[in-house]
């Protein structure tokens, strides 16, 4: 796959989907990369155009400076999405990716090109507040947090050299996620589906339910057994849920 254009730096399509009827845009968690969504692409392509976002500062973009501001990330991703051919679209974001998805949705809706659904996973609602300061810790403190959350591939977690190489992106991601704020009256219009783990230290059940107040559209909540990365243990069930929403797209948009 060519990586010469800005679009290809950010957008990763792991399976061809030339005749897709809907697009799924996947937004990774803090410290995460586009490859996290390879199983989603494998399961849903070619019926859906599965696009996984690759943020700067990791993997083959490691030489680039990571971005530590949710608004800047949302602006860039929004601009790139608008360059894509029009297609019914769903956004899916986990943890930090959930609030990026919320902000991208706001920007798309302001231009009347909003997604048909926003699926948010492992993240408290945008207007809820926690005093989180992981990004201010020393290197050892950030690495300890990532290992506690188990948010990186096990082979990386056990390799101190790889973990330290990932630190600039990790620190920037945590700074972006932890300094993000949103007024309670800011909403999106599309349906929102929230996914949460019943033992997620980053999101209480009430914080997940609070997503309902930040959409004027329908809201539904799905609770899974597990911690912050419950979705890795329930991948088949979550992919099935996403697939159901994607398959509903043509019926909902038919005229």
| pLDDT tens digits, 202-212 | 999 999 999 99
pLDDT at 255: 33
Contact 100, 70 (CB under 8 A): yes
**pLDDT 10s digits, 177-203:** 999 999 999 999 999 999 999 999 999
Q: Give the burial string for 92-113 (b: 16+ CB within 10 Å, else e).
A: bbbbbbbbbbbbbbbbbeeeee
Provide the sign of the torsion angle of the four alpha carbons 210, 250, 238, 108, taken in this order.
negative
Q: How many CB atoms lie within 10 A of CB 132?
A: 13
Rounded Cα gap, residues 184 and 126, in angstroms: 8
pLDDT at 2: 38
pLDDT at 160: 63
Helix ranges (DSSP H) in 128-234 = 139-149, 154-157, 160-165, 167-179, 205-209, 230-233
Nearest to 59 by CA among 166, 176, 157, 173: 166
Lowest mean pLDDT among 155-164, 168-177, 239-248: 155-164
Query: pLDDT exceeding 90 applies to what percent of the chain?
Result: 77
Is 95 part of the annotated catalytic residue set?
yes
| 234 has pLDDT over 80 | yes
Which one is catalytic: 33, 41, 95, 121? 95
Q: What angle do CA 103, 105, 110 make, to 5 degrees?
A: 100
List CB contacts of 16: < 8 A, sequence separation 6 or more.
45, 46
pLDDT at 155: 44
Query: Strand order in 48-53's β-sheet?
Result: 11-12, 48-53, 22-27, 89-94, 117-121, 192-197, 219-224
Contact 157, 146 (CB under 8 A): yes
Give 60's Cβ-side CA count (13 Å radius).
Answer: 13
Q: Which domains, and CATH codes, for the chain?
A: 6-129+183-253 (3.40.50.1820)
Q: What is the mean pLDDT of residues 60-85?
A: 96
| 159 has pLDDT over 70 | no
pLDDT band at 36 (very low <50, low <70, confident <90, very high): very high
Looking at residue 204, the DSSP 8-state letter turns out to be -
């Amino acid at each position: 796959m060519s990586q010469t254009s800005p679009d290809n730096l950010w957008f990763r399509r792991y399976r061809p989907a030339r005749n897709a009827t809907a697009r799924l845009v996947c937004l990774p968690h803090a410290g995460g990369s586009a490859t996290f969504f390879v199983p989603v692409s494998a399961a849903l392509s070619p019926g859906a155009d599965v696009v996984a976002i690759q943020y700067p500062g990791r993997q083959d973009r490691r030489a680039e400076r990571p971005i530590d501001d949710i608004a800047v990330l949302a602006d860039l991703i929004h601009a790139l999405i608008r360059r894509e051919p029009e297609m019914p679209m769903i956004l899916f974001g986990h943890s930090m990716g959930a609030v990026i998805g919320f902000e991208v949705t706001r920007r798309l809706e302001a231009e009347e090109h909003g997604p048909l659904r926003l699926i948010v996973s492992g993240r408290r609602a945008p207007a809820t507040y926690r005093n989180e300061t992981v990004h201010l810790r020393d290197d050892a403190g950030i690495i300890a947090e990532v290992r506690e959350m188990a948010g990186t591939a096990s082979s990386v977690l056990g390799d101190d050299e790889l973990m330290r190489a990932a630190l600039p992106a990790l620190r920037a991601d945590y700074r972006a996620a932890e300094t993000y704020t949103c007024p309670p009256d800011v909403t999106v219009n599309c349906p929102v589906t929230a996914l949460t783990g019943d033992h997620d230290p980053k999101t209480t059940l009430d914080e997940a339910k609070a997503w309902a107040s930040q959409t004027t559209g329908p809201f539904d909540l799905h609770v899974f057994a597990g911690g912050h990365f419950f979705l890795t243990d329930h991948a088949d069930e979550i992919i099935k849920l996403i697939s159901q929403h994607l398959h509903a797209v043509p019926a909902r948009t038919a005229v």
